[in-house]
Structure 1
Amino acid sequence: MAITTCIFDAYGTLFDVTAAAREAASAPGCERLAGLWVRLAEDWRRKQLEYSWLRAITGAHADFWQVTQDGLDWALEAHGLQGDARLRARLLDLYRALSAYPEVPAMLAALKQAGKATAILSNGAPGMLASAVASAGIGGLLDDVLSVESAGVFKPHRSVYDLVGQRFGTAPGQVLFVSANGWDAAAGAGYGFVTAWVNRAGAPVDRMPWRPAHVLADLTGIPALAEAA
Protein backbone atom coordinates (compact mmCIF):
# COMPACT_ATOMS: atom_id res chain seq x y z
CA MET A 1 0.00 0.00 0.00
CA ALA A 2 1.54 3.32 -1.10
CA ILE A 3 2.25 6.03 1.46
CA THR A 4 0.03 9.05 0.86
CA THR A 5 0.36 10.84 4.20
CA CYS A 6 3.33 11.62 6.44
CA ILE A 7 2.53 12.35 10.06
CA PHE A 8 5.06 13.75 12.52
CA ASP A 9 5.26 13.94 16.26
CA ALA A 10 6.24 17.48 17.22
CA TYR A 11 8.33 17.72 20.38
CA GLY A 12 11.68 16.02 20.03
CA THR A 13 10.89 15.06 16.43
CA LEU A 14 10.43 18.34 14.54
CA PHE A 15 11.25 20.67 17.44
CA ASP A 16 14.34 20.48 19.64
CA VAL A 17 13.06 20.17 23.22
CA THR A 18 16.48 21.04 24.64
CA ALA A 19 16.56 24.41 22.89
CA ALA A 20 14.74 26.36 25.62
CA ALA A 21 17.16 25.44 28.40
CA ARG A 22 20.18 25.80 26.10
CA GLU A 23 19.20 29.28 24.98
CA ALA A 24 18.31 30.43 28.50
CA ALA A 25 21.69 29.21 29.76
CA SER A 26 23.55 31.32 27.19
CA ALA A 27 22.03 34.60 28.40
CA PRO A 28 24.09 36.99 30.55
CA GLY A 29 23.58 36.44 34.25
CA CYS A 30 22.63 32.77 33.86
CA GLU A 31 25.99 31.30 34.83
CA ARG A 32 24.40 28.89 37.30
CA LEU A 33 22.12 27.47 34.63
CA ALA A 34 25.03 27.20 32.21
CA GLY A 35 26.51 24.40 34.28
CA LEU A 36 23.38 22.31 34.53
CA TRP A 37 21.08 23.11 31.61
CA VAL A 38 21.58 19.70 29.98
CA ARG A 39 20.42 17.86 33.10
CA LEU A 40 17.60 20.35 33.62
CA ALA A 41 16.38 19.82 30.05
CA GLU A 42 16.53 16.04 30.45
CA ASP A 43 14.61 16.10 33.74
CA TRP A 44 12.04 18.53 32.35
CA ARG A 45 11.37 16.32 29.33
CA ARG A 46 11.28 13.11 31.37
CA LYS A 47 8.74 14.49 33.85
CA GLN A 48 6.68 16.06 31.06
CA LEU A 49 6.27 12.62 29.46
CA GLU A 50 5.77 10.79 32.73
CA TYR A 51 3.00 13.16 33.76
CA SER A 52 1.27 12.73 30.38
CA TRP A 53 1.27 8.94 30.82
CA LEU A 54 0.07 9.13 34.43
CA ARG A 55 -2.74 11.50 33.50
CA ALA A 56 -3.78 9.20 30.63
CA ILE A 57 -3.80 6.13 32.89
CA THR A 58 -5.71 7.81 35.71
CA GLY A 59 -8.12 9.77 33.52
CA ALA A 60 -6.95 13.06 35.05
CA HIS A 61 -6.45 14.87 31.75
CA ALA A 62 -4.99 18.35 31.56
CA ASP A 63 -3.59 19.93 28.43
CA PHE A 64 0.08 19.60 27.55
CA TRP A 65 0.86 23.18 28.49
CA GLN A 66 -0.10 22.38 32.08
CA VAL A 67 1.93 19.18 31.95
CA THR A 68 4.88 21.12 30.54
CA GLN A 69 4.73 23.60 33.40
CA ASP A 70 4.43 20.82 35.97
CA GLY A 71 7.46 19.06 34.53
CA LEU A 72 9.47 22.27 34.58
CA ASP A 73 8.51 23.01 38.17
CA TRP A 74 9.73 19.56 39.23
CA ALA A 75 13.00 19.99 37.33
CA LEU A 76 13.61 23.47 38.75
CA GLU A 77 13.09 22.21 42.29
CA ALA A 78 15.31 19.19 41.67
CA HIS A 79 18.13 21.56 40.74
CA GLY A 80 17.50 24.10 43.50
CA LEU A 81 16.03 26.75 41.20
CA GLN A 82 12.41 26.68 42.29
CA GLY A 83 12.45 30.24 43.62
CA ASP A 84 13.59 31.84 40.38
CA ALA A 85 10.30 33.07 38.90
CA ARG A 86 12.08 35.05 36.20
CA LEU A 87 13.95 31.97 34.96
CA ARG A 88 10.76 29.92 34.98
CA ALA A 89 8.94 32.50 32.87
CA ARG A 90 11.89 32.76 30.47
CA LEU A 91 12.05 28.97 29.97
CA LEU A 92 8.33 28.75 29.28
CA ASP A 93 8.49 31.62 26.78
CA LEU A 94 11.34 29.88 24.98
CA TYR A 95 9.48 26.58 24.96
CA ARG A 96 6.66 28.17 23.00
CA ALA A 97 9.19 29.11 20.30
CA LEU A 98 11.37 26.00 20.18
CA SER A 99 13.81 25.72 17.30
CA ALA A 100 13.09 23.16 14.60
CA TYR A 101 15.88 20.76 13.73
CA PRO A 102 17.91 22.09 10.77
CA GLU A 103 16.73 19.49 8.27
CA VAL A 104 13.01 20.00 8.92
CA PRO A 105 12.07 22.68 6.33
CA ALA A 106 13.81 20.99 3.40
CA MET A 107 12.45 17.58 4.41
CA LEU A 108 8.86 18.83 4.56
CA ALA A 109 9.27 20.73 1.29
CA ALA A 110 10.48 17.55 -0.43
CA LEU A 111 7.44 15.64 0.82
CA LYS A 112 5.09 18.33 -0.45
CA GLN A 113 6.84 18.36 -3.82
CA ALA A 114 6.31 14.60 -4.01
CA GLY A 115 2.58 15.09 -3.43
CA LYS A 116 2.42 13.73 0.10
CA ALA A 117 0.06 15.12 2.70
CA THR A 118 1.92 16.27 5.82
CA ALA A 119 0.74 16.95 9.35
CA ILE A 120 1.71 17.01 12.99
CA LEU A 121 0.08 14.67 15.50
CA SER A 122 1.15 15.81 18.94
CA ASN A 123 0.42 15.76 22.64
CA GLY A 124 0.84 19.53 22.45
CA ALA A 125 -2.05 21.87 23.14
CA PRO A 126 -3.27 23.76 20.05
CA GLY A 127 -1.93 27.12 21.21
CA MET A 128 1.56 25.92 21.98
CA LEU A 129 1.72 23.98 18.70
CA ALA A 130 0.60 27.03 16.74
CA SER A 131 3.35 29.10 18.38
CA ALA A 132 6.04 26.53 17.63
CA VAL A 133 4.97 26.07 14.01
CA ALA A 134 4.87 29.84 13.44
CA SER A 135 8.25 30.37 15.11
CA ALA A 136 9.83 27.67 12.92
CA GLY A 137 8.18 29.07 9.78
CA ILE A 138 6.87 25.69 8.63
CA GLY A 139 3.13 26.34 8.61
CA GLY A 140 3.02 26.49 4.80
CA LEU A 141 4.57 23.01 4.61
CA LEU A 142 1.91 21.33 6.74
CA ASP A 143 -1.63 20.38 5.77
CA ASP A 144 -2.77 20.27 9.38
CA VAL A 145 -1.67 20.29 13.00
CA LEU A 146 -3.54 17.67 15.03
CA SER A 147 -3.60 17.88 18.82
CA VAL A 148 -4.57 15.17 21.28
CA GLU A 149 -6.97 17.70 22.77
CA SER A 150 -9.45 16.53 20.10
CA ALA A 151 -9.33 13.08 21.73
CA GLY A 152 -9.01 14.22 25.35
CA VAL A 153 -6.20 11.80 26.16
CA PHE A 154 -2.47 11.63 25.53
CA LYS A 155 -0.50 9.30 23.29
CA PRO A 156 -0.15 6.38 22.97
CA HIS A 157 -3.92 5.92 23.36
CA ARG A 158 -5.38 4.51 20.14
CA SER A 159 -7.99 7.26 19.93
CA VAL A 160 -5.16 9.73 19.28
CA TYR A 161 -3.93 7.77 16.27
CA ASP A 162 -7.55 7.57 15.07
CA LEU A 163 -7.37 11.34 14.45
CA VAL A 164 -5.21 10.78 11.37
CA GLY A 165 -7.75 8.64 9.52
CA GLN A 166 -10.57 10.92 10.59
CA ARG A 167 -8.77 13.92 9.11
CA PHE A 168 -7.22 12.43 5.96
CA GLY A 169 -9.48 9.45 5.19
CA THR A 170 -6.49 7.13 5.12
CA ALA A 171 -6.06 3.50 6.06
CA PRO A 172 -3.25 3.06 8.63
CA GLY A 173 -1.01 1.39 6.04
CA GLN A 174 -1.07 4.53 3.90
CA VAL A 175 0.49 6.58 6.71
CA LEU A 176 4.17 7.02 7.46
CA PHE A 177 4.25 7.98 11.12
CA VAL A 178 7.49 9.57 12.32
CA SER A 179 8.46 10.06 15.95
CA ALA A 180 11.62 10.57 17.98
CA ASN A 181 9.94 8.80 20.89
CA GLY A 182 10.61 5.06 20.66
CA TRP A 183 7.44 4.21 22.58
CA ASP A 184 5.38 6.41 20.23
CA ALA A 185 6.86 4.84 17.09
CA ALA A 186 6.24 1.38 18.54
CA ALA A 187 2.64 2.16 19.49
CA GLY A 188 2.06 3.63 16.03
CA ALA A 189 3.33 0.37 14.53
CA GLY A 190 0.90 -1.54 16.71
CA TYR A 191 -1.87 0.68 15.42
CA GLY A 192 -0.96 -0.24 11.84
CA PHE A 193 1.03 2.76 10.66
CA VAL A 194 4.31 2.37 8.81
CA THR A 195 6.57 3.90 11.43
CA ALA A 196 9.98 5.52 11.49
CA TRP A 197 11.79 6.12 14.77
CA VAL A 198 14.18 9.07 14.68
CA ASN A 199 16.80 7.82 17.09
CA ARG A 200 19.11 10.82 17.37
CA ALA A 201 20.74 9.54 20.58
CA GLY A 202 21.42 6.00 19.39
CA ALA A 203 19.27 4.53 22.17
CA PRO A 204 18.21 0.87 22.36
CA VAL A 205 14.84 -0.08 20.88
CA ASP A 206 12.05 0.00 23.47
CA ARG A 207 10.88 -3.40 24.67
CA MET A 208 7.27 -3.22 23.56
CA PRO A 209 5.06 -5.71 21.67
CA TRP A 210 5.74 -3.81 18.42
CA ARG A 211 8.78 -2.29 16.80
CA PRO A 212 9.15 0.57 14.31
CA ALA A 213 9.66 -0.51 10.72
CA HIS A 214 12.53 1.95 10.25
CA VAL A 215 15.15 3.53 12.49
CA LEU A 216 16.84 6.74 11.32
CA ALA A 217 19.47 9.03 12.82
CA ASP A 218 17.64 12.18 11.69
CA LEU A 219 14.84 13.28 9.35
CA THR A 220 16.77 13.71 6.13
CA GLY A 221 15.87 10.24 4.83
CA ILE A 222 12.12 10.61 5.31
CA PRO A 223 11.23 11.72 1.74
CA ALA A 224 13.04 8.74 0.20
CA LEU A 225 11.48 6.42 2.76
CA ALA A 226 8.00 7.72 1.98
CA GLU A 227 8.54 7.01 -1.72
CA ALA A 228 9.96 3.54 -1.15
CA ALA A 229 7.59 2.32 1.57
Structure 2
Amino acid sequence: MADTETLCFDMYGTLCDTSSVTGALAAELDASDALVSRIDETWRAKQLQYSYQSALMEAYQPFWDVTADALDYALAQWGVAADDATREAILASYEHLDPYPDAVDTLTRLSEAGHTVTVLSNGNPGMLETLAENAGLAPHLDDVISADEVSTFKPNPAVYENAAARTDTPIADCRLVSGNAWDVAGAGNAGMATAWVDRANDPFERIGVEPSLTVDGLAGVADELA
Protein backbone atom coordinates (compact mmCIF):
# COMPACT_ATOMS: atom_id res chain seq x y z
CA MET A 1 0.00 0.00 0.00
CA ALA A 2 1.08 3.58 -0.61
CA ASP A 3 1.74 5.86 2.38
CA THR A 4 -1.49 7.67 1.57
CA GLU A 5 -4.58 5.99 0.24
CA THR A 6 -7.88 6.76 -1.38
CA LEU A 7 -10.35 6.02 1.41
CA CYS A 8 -13.85 5.09 0.25
CA PHE A 9 -16.35 5.40 3.09
CA ASP A 10 -19.68 3.68 2.91
CA MET A 11 -22.48 6.10 3.83
CA TYR A 12 -25.37 4.03 5.22
CA GLY A 13 -24.47 2.30 8.45
CA THR A 14 -20.90 3.61 8.39
CA LEU A 15 -20.83 7.42 8.34
CA CYS A 16 -24.55 7.78 9.05
CA ASP A 17 -26.83 5.77 11.30
CA THR A 18 -29.71 4.24 9.33
CA SER A 19 -31.61 3.54 12.55
CA SER A 20 -32.13 7.28 13.00
CA VAL A 21 -35.16 6.89 10.70
CA THR A 22 -37.02 5.69 13.79
CA GLY A 23 -37.61 9.31 14.72
CA ALA A 24 -39.59 9.90 11.54
CA LEU A 25 -41.40 6.60 11.88
CA ALA A 26 -42.47 7.45 15.41
CA ALA A 27 -43.52 10.98 14.46
CA GLU A 28 -45.52 9.99 11.40
CA LEU A 29 -47.14 6.69 12.43
CA ASP A 30 -49.60 5.77 15.13
CA ALA A 31 -47.39 2.95 16.35
CA SER A 32 -45.77 1.75 19.56
CA ASP A 33 -42.02 1.93 20.07
CA ALA A 34 -41.83 -1.83 19.60
CA LEU A 35 -43.67 -1.66 16.30
CA VAL A 36 -41.53 1.26 15.11
CA SER A 37 -38.44 -0.84 15.83
CA ARG A 38 -39.83 -3.78 13.84
CA ILE A 39 -40.71 -1.56 10.87
CA ASP A 40 -37.22 -0.03 10.96
CA GLU A 41 -35.54 -3.45 10.98
CA THR A 42 -37.71 -4.77 8.15
CA TRP A 43 -37.21 -1.62 6.09
CA ARG A 44 -33.42 -1.83 6.26
CA ALA A 45 -33.34 -5.58 5.65
CA LYS A 46 -35.58 -5.27 2.60
CA GLN A 47 -33.62 -2.29 1.31
CA LEU A 48 -30.50 -4.43 1.21
CA GLN A 49 -32.32 -7.49 -0.11
CA TYR A 50 -33.90 -5.52 -2.95
CA SER A 51 -30.53 -4.06 -3.93
CA TYR A 52 -29.09 -7.58 -4.16
CA GLN A 53 -32.10 -8.82 -6.10
CA SER A 54 -32.12 -5.99 -8.62
CA ALA A 55 -28.39 -6.43 -9.24
CA LEU A 56 -28.64 -10.19 -9.70
CA MET A 57 -31.70 -9.87 -11.93
CA GLU A 58 -29.96 -7.11 -13.95
CA ALA A 59 -33.02 -4.98 -13.31
CA TYR A 60 -31.34 -1.89 -11.89
CA GLN A 61 -33.33 0.92 -10.33
CA PRO A 62 -31.94 3.87 -8.33
CA PHE A 63 -31.45 3.35 -4.64
CA TRP A 64 -34.15 5.88 -3.79
CA ASP A 65 -36.66 3.62 -5.57
CA VAL A 66 -35.26 0.56 -3.80
CA THR A 67 -35.63 2.37 -0.49
CA ALA A 68 -39.22 3.35 -1.28
CA ASP A 69 -40.15 -0.21 -2.28
CA ALA A 70 -38.58 -1.53 0.93
CA LEU A 71 -40.57 0.95 3.01
CA ASP A 72 -43.80 -0.10 1.31
CA TYR A 73 -43.01 -3.73 2.08
CA ALA A 74 -42.21 -2.98 5.72
CA LEU A 75 -45.44 -1.07 6.24
CA ALA A 76 -47.44 -3.87 4.60
CA GLN A 77 -45.59 -6.54 6.57
CA TRP A 78 -46.59 -4.94 9.86
CA GLY A 79 -50.09 -3.91 8.77
CA VAL A 80 -49.53 -0.16 9.01
CA ALA A 81 -51.39 2.17 6.66
CA ALA A 82 -49.74 5.40 5.47
CA ASP A 83 -51.10 7.97 3.05
CA ASP A 84 -48.87 9.53 0.39
CA ALA A 85 -47.88 12.51 2.53
CA THR A 86 -46.93 10.29 5.46
CA ARG A 87 -44.98 7.94 3.24
CA GLU A 88 -43.06 10.83 1.65
CA ALA A 89 -42.25 12.30 5.05
CA ILE A 90 -40.87 8.96 6.23
CA LEU A 91 -38.85 8.50 3.04
CA ALA A 92 -37.35 11.97 3.47
CA SER A 93 -35.72 10.76 6.67
CA TYR A 94 -33.10 9.06 4.49
CA GLU A 95 -31.88 12.54 3.57
CA HIS A 96 -31.58 13.50 7.24
CA LEU A 97 -29.83 10.54 8.86
CA ASP A 98 -27.72 11.29 11.92
CA PRO A 99 -23.96 11.07 11.39
CA TYR A 100 -22.12 8.92 13.87
CA PRO A 101 -20.54 11.14 16.55
CA ASP A 102 -16.99 10.42 15.40
CA ALA A 103 -17.67 10.80 11.65
CA VAL A 104 -16.60 14.40 11.05
CA ASP A 105 -13.51 14.18 13.26
CA THR A 106 -12.43 10.95 11.54
CA LEU A 107 -12.78 12.42 8.05
CA THR A 108 -10.92 15.55 9.13
CA ARG A 109 -8.02 13.65 10.66
CA LEU A 110 -7.61 11.42 7.64
CA SER A 111 -7.76 14.32 5.20
CA GLU A 112 -5.17 16.23 7.21
CA ALA A 113 -2.95 13.14 7.07
CA GLY A 114 -2.95 13.38 3.26
CA HIS A 115 -5.47 10.70 2.37
CA THR A 116 -8.08 11.25 -0.32
CA VAL A 117 -11.43 10.95 1.47
CA THR A 118 -14.50 9.93 -0.51
CA VAL A 119 -17.90 8.34 -0.11
CA LEU A 120 -18.63 5.14 -2.04
CA SER A 121 -22.25 4.15 -1.64
CA ASN A 122 -25.21 2.41 -3.21
CA GLY A 123 -27.18 5.64 -2.81
CA ASN A 124 -27.93 7.50 -6.01
CA PRO A 125 -26.18 10.88 -6.39
CA GLY A 126 -29.09 13.04 -5.26
CA MET A 127 -29.56 11.01 -2.08
CA LEU A 128 -25.87 11.09 -1.22
CA GLU A 129 -25.21 14.74 -1.93
CA THR A 130 -28.25 15.87 0.05
CA LEU A 131 -27.41 13.63 3.01
CA ALA A 132 -23.75 14.67 2.99
CA GLU A 133 -24.82 18.32 3.21
CA ASN A 134 -27.47 17.75 5.87
CA ALA A 135 -25.17 15.60 8.01
CA GLY A 136 -22.33 18.13 7.86
CA LEU A 137 -20.03 15.72 6.00
CA ALA A 138 -19.76 17.46 2.62
CA PRO A 139 -16.99 19.95 3.58
CA HIS A 140 -14.80 17.02 4.65
CA LEU A 141 -15.10 14.94 1.47
CA ASP A 142 -13.03 15.05 -1.71
CA ASP A 143 -15.68 13.24 -3.75
CA VAL A 144 -18.97 11.37 -3.57
CA ILE A 145 -19.10 8.25 -5.75
CA SER A 146 -22.34 6.40 -6.41
CA ALA A 147 -23.00 2.85 -7.55
CA ASP A 148 -25.54 4.47 -9.86
CA GLU A 149 -22.63 5.29 -12.18
CA VAL A 150 -22.35 1.61 -13.13
CA SER A 151 -26.06 0.76 -12.79
CA THR A 152 -25.60 -1.97 -10.22
CA PHE A 153 -25.02 -2.28 -6.49
CA LYS A 154 -22.37 -3.43 -4.06
CA PRO A 155 -20.92 -5.98 -3.68
CA ASN A 156 -20.60 -6.22 -7.49
CA PRO A 157 -16.89 -5.69 -8.29
CA ALA A 158 -17.82 -3.05 -10.87
CA VAL A 159 -18.80 -0.63 -8.09
CA TYR A 160 -15.39 -0.82 -6.42
CA GLU A 161 -13.52 -0.81 -9.71
CA ASN A 162 -15.38 2.33 -10.75
CA ALA A 163 -14.30 4.08 -7.56
CA ALA A 164 -10.66 3.33 -8.34
CA ALA A 165 -11.09 4.58 -11.89
CA ARG A 166 -12.97 7.72 -10.80
CA THR A 167 -10.20 8.66 -8.38
CA ASP A 168 -7.41 7.62 -10.77
CA THR A 169 -6.01 5.31 -8.09
CA PRO A 170 -4.81 1.72 -8.43
CA ILE A 171 -7.45 -0.39 -6.74
CA ALA A 172 -4.84 -1.83 -4.36
CA ASP A 173 -4.24 1.73 -3.09
CA CYS A 174 -7.94 2.23 -2.36
CA ARG A 175 -9.43 1.19 0.96
CA LEU A 176 -13.14 0.69 1.59
CA VAL A 177 -14.25 1.67 5.09
CA SER A 178 -17.59 0.13 5.98
CA GLY A 179 -19.68 -0.97 8.92
CA ASN A 180 -21.31 -3.60 6.68
CA ALA A 181 -19.37 -6.87 6.67
CA TRP A 182 -20.81 -7.96 3.30
CA ASP A 183 -19.53 -4.69 1.79
CA VAL A 184 -16.05 -5.25 3.20
CA ALA A 185 -16.05 -8.81 1.87
CA GLY A 186 -17.05 -7.55 -1.57
CA ALA A 187 -14.43 -4.79 -1.70
CA GLY A 188 -11.72 -7.20 -0.65
CA ASN A 189 -12.83 -9.60 -3.35
CA ALA A 190 -12.49 -6.77 -5.90
CA GLY A 191 -8.90 -6.07 -4.79
CA MET A 192 -9.33 -3.16 -2.38
CA ALA A 193 -7.80 -2.94 1.05
CA THR A 194 -10.54 -2.68 3.66
CA ALA A 195 -11.37 -1.45 7.12
CA TRP A 196 -14.34 -3.01 8.88
CA VAL A 197 -16.06 -0.87 11.49
CA ASP A 198 -17.43 -3.66 13.66
CA ARG A 199 -19.47 -1.71 16.20
CA ALA A 200 -21.46 -4.73 17.38
CA ASN A 201 -18.52 -7.15 17.75
CA ASP A 202 -20.09 -9.45 15.15
CA PRO A 203 -18.35 -12.40 13.47
CA PHE A 204 -17.16 -11.66 9.95
CA GLU A 205 -18.83 -13.04 6.83
CA ARG A 206 -17.99 -16.56 5.67
CA ILE A 207 -17.99 -15.52 1.99
CA GLY A 208 -15.56 -12.98 0.57
CA VAL A 209 -12.17 -11.61 1.65
CA GLU A 210 -11.56 -10.86 5.32
CA PRO A 211 -10.85 -7.25 6.33
CA SER A 212 -7.36 -5.79 6.21
CA LEU A 213 -8.19 -3.85 9.37
CA THR A 214 -10.93 -4.23 11.99
CA VAL A 215 -11.89 -1.47 14.41
CA ASP A 216 -14.83 -0.88 16.75
CA GLY A 217 -15.61 2.67 15.61
CA LEU A 218 -14.73 5.25 12.98
CA ALA A 219 -12.17 6.89 15.26
CA GLY A 220 -10.22 3.64 15.15
CA VAL A 221 -9.72 4.08 11.39
CA ALA A 222 -8.10 7.46 11.99
CA ASP A 223 -6.03 6.06 14.87
CA GLU A 224 -4.63 3.37 12.57
CA LEU A 225 -4.21 5.32 9.32
CA ALA A 226 -3.69 8.98 10.28
For residues 9-59 of structure 1, give each alpha carbon's deviation from its aligned partner in whole angstroms, at most 9, with x where no partner exists.
Answer: 11111111111123442x3x7551433222211110100010000000011
Counterpart mapping for 1:34-183 below 5 A: 34-183=33-182
CA deviation vs aligned residue, 1:164-209 (integer Å, no higher than 9, x gap):
2212221222122111111110111111211111122222211113
Partner SS for 1:190: helix
Distance 2:200 2:36 in 1: 17
Contact residue 185 and residue 211 of structure 2 kept, 8 A: yes
Residue 7 in 1 paired to residue 11 in 2? no
Report the Cα offset of residue 224 of structure 1.
2.5
SS in 1 for 2:218: coil
RMSD in angstroms over aligned alpha carbons? 1.6
Deviation at 1:96, TM superposition (A): 1.4
Q: Distance in 2 between matches of 1:82 and 1:215?
A: 41
Quick one: distance in 1 between partners of 2:36 and 2:100?
A: 19
1:206 counterpart letter in structure 2:
E
* Aligned twin of 1:199: 198
Counterpart residue type for residue 114 of structure 1? A
Separation in 1 of the partners of 2:91 and 2:82? 15
Query: Structure 1 stretches of 5 or more lacking a match?
Result: none
Matching residue's letter, 2:8? I
C-alpha deviation, 1:82, in angstroms: 3.2
Moved more, 159-168 or 43-52: 159-168
Q: One-letter code of the match for 1:151?
A: V
> Is the deviation greater in 125-134 or in 89-98?
89-98
Distance 2:76 2:180 in 1: 25
Match of 1:50, as an amino acid? Q
What letter is aligned with 1:147?
Answer: S
Deviating 4+ runs (over 3 angstroms): 82-87
Name structure 2 gaps, 5 residues minimum: none
CA distance in structure 2 between the partners assigned to 1:216 and 1:39 by the alignment: 28
Matched pairs, number: 225
Displacement after TM superposition at 1:61 (Å): 0.4
Aligned twin of 2:18: 17
Distance change in 2, residues 1:22/1:201 (3 Å): farther
Q: Give a deviation string over 1:144-171, Cα, whole Å, max 9, x none.
A: 0001111011111111111222122212
Moved more, 95-104 or 167-176: 167-176
Q: Distance in 2 between matches of 1:225 and 1:196?
A: 10
Q: Which residue of 1 aligns with 2:187?
A: 188
Whether the aligned pair in 2 keeps the contact of 1:176 and 1:226 (CA below 8 Å) is: no
Q: Aligned equivalents of 1:86 and 1:144: distance in 2?
A: 33
- TM-score, structure 1 as length reference: 0.92
TM-score normalised to the size of structure 2?
Answer: 0.93
Distance 1:164 1:207 in 2: 25
Mapped partners of 1:176, 1:136: distance in 2? 22
One-letter identity of the residue aligned with 1:136: A
